[in-house]
Amino acid sequence: MVCGIFKAMSTVQDIESAIQRLDDRSLGQLSDWFEDYLAEKWEKRFAADVQAGKLDKLGEAADSAFGRGKCRPL
């Protein structure tokens, strides 16, 4: 029963304890999933920040630096 599992793991400590009991294969699967999960959350946050104009000043500064020849190839 899935609901029972989540009720049993309602705190960070509960989740940490459950993770420590995973075998290597399951731990690898969890690690892969969590990495993807964090990347997706970061991408959504970044997109929201772009949409809200929070990066506009940085973009303008980069464009200005490029226009003044202050940039070099990577």
pTM of the model: 0.66
**Is 46 a member of any domain?**
yes
**Is 5 a member of any domain?**
no
**Is 71 a member of any domain?**
yes
Using an 8 Å Cβ cutoff, are 14 and 8 in contact?
yes
**Is 1 a member of any domain?**
no
Which pLDDT score, from 0 to 100, does residue 4 have?
56
**Is 29 a member of any domain?**
yes
Which pLDDT score, from 0 to 100, does residue 74 have?
82
Q: Residue 33's domain spans which residues?
A: 24-74
- 62 has pLDDT over 80: yes
Q: What sign for the dihedral angle of Cα 24, 29, 35, 38? A: negative
List, for residues 16-61, the tens digit of each pLDDT value: 999 999 999 999 999 999 999 999 999 999 999 999 999 999 999 9
Number of domains in the chain: 1
Which pLDDT score, from 0 to 100, does residue 1 have?
45
Amino acid at 53: G
Secondary structure of residue 31 in the 3-state scheme: helix
Which pLDDT score, from 0 to 100, does residue 9 have?
73
**Is 37 a member of any domain?**
yes
